[in-house]
Structure 1
């Protein structure tokens, strides 16, 4: 089985196992093997420079990522200055259109307009198919004030290809088997059983990393 098909099947399994946002979560300290996995020889996405890194591995095609977005977006905006939060799309191949769209919009400085809108278009308004082509994505992003020609060029740009490769490498070394997944400092892979539980566990592990800092 190809990596793409394997990861897509894992994503489906993970989506079936993750409970909805209304499920109650205990306030107990997170437990390794239950709430998170310690990543052997894990490395952060970027140098920490004295900060704590939180990466959300997501896919625009994932319904649970769409459900998490209204929770995680305000949560990450309230994080203290010593925490660096990064959205990172999962990459199934060298030219994954949805992931390339994320990086293209990011490069153009329009991500604030397009990130949540892409989830809404795919899972609520049904205006974008899960296998959207570059031209379909370009048309949709143009509805949100993005220059379509510049956007489609950014999707094809070598810099976007490099970001796709780096995102795929991080995905593989993180060992994530579905979305959404949170990775703390490249060391902790959070596998909570509810969407709110992901954030509760992240809060606890952020505090743990802060306390352990020299």
Structure 2
């Protein structure tokens, strides 16, 4: 190679990383494609000035299990004005059994520490049955995670869990959720688009930013 071309080649190579790493423009959201507006929608819980992001999920839903690692990482990156709230779908049958388990764990303050383990037990190890899990089987699993069996069993069967499951059921119906996982921003927008998990969360981030701007 002629020596006079070498400086030009070095210059071009130095520019390549900057070009390759240049941020792509974020696509504008399209109603009806990326999200739908929920008629008369409302947040699941009081906002306290924050933007609420709800994931409607089911422990028995394999797609929710696949989304969980991405959701877990996404939560860690959120600013203080975003509040993430998982809401279990209680469509009926075995969905209700595990929605009750979620709220029993929440009442005892162990929901965060056991959440991923329940997904693993259902979809990886098979130590929990997807269908027809008895209260005693569910209690035994939580006991294996270090949760007091007596306290968990009492919570699982208690009136507080009844009320929380009923609230979740009514809100999920109001939001028009028919499948899981579903992401809802501030009770107003339900994400329907996204080619993959990252794309779904990209749409979520844009809706969060929209709500943040509206509050300002």
Per the alignment, residue 210 of structure 1 pairs with 212
Query: What is the aligned length?
Result: 189
Q: 1:112 aligned to 2:112? A: yes
- In the TM superposition, residue 191 of structure 1 has moved relative to its aligned partner by 1.2
Aligned pairs for 1:32-51 (under 5 A) are: 32-51=31-50
Q: Which residue of 2 aligns with 1:199?
A: 201
For residues 134 and 37 of structure 1, what CA distance do their matches in structure 2 show?
A: 37
CA shift at 1:113, angstroms? 2.3
Name 1:75's counterpart in structure 2.
74
Q: Provide the C-alpha distance between the structure 2 equivalents of 1:96 and 1:52, rounded to a whole number of angstroms.
A: 27
Moved over 4 A (4+): none
| CA distance, structure 2, for counterparts of residue 134 and residue 114 of structure 1 | 16
Q: Secondary structure at the match of 1:43?
A: coil
1:1-214 alignment, distance < 5 Å: 27-93=26-92, 96-131=96-131, 132-193=133-194, 194-214=196-216
Give the whole-Å Cα distance in 2 for the aligned partners of 1:49 and 1:105. 24
Please state how far the C-alpha of 1:90 moved relative to its aligned partner: 0.3
Q: Deviations over 1:22-51 (max 9, x none)?
A: xxxx94122111111110110111122221
Q: Which has the higher contact order (CA 8 A, sep 6+)?
A: 1
Larger Rg: 2
Gaps of at least 5 residues in structure 2 are 1-24
TM-score by length of 1: 0.84
Please state whether the residue corresponding to 1:96 is helix, strand or coil.
helix
Q: Pairwise CA RMSD of aligned residues? A: 1.5
* SS of match in other structure, 1:49: coil
The 1-side partners of 2:76 and 2:162 are apart by 28
Which whole-Å deviations, capped at 9, do the CAs of 1:180-212 have from their partners, x for residues lacking one? 000101000011242222211100000111111
Distance (whole Å) between structure 2 residues aligned to residue 38 and residue 46 of structure 1: 18
Give me the whole-angstrom Cα distance separating, in 2, the residues matched to 1:93 and 1:61: 12
| Pairwise CA distance, 1:93 | 4.0
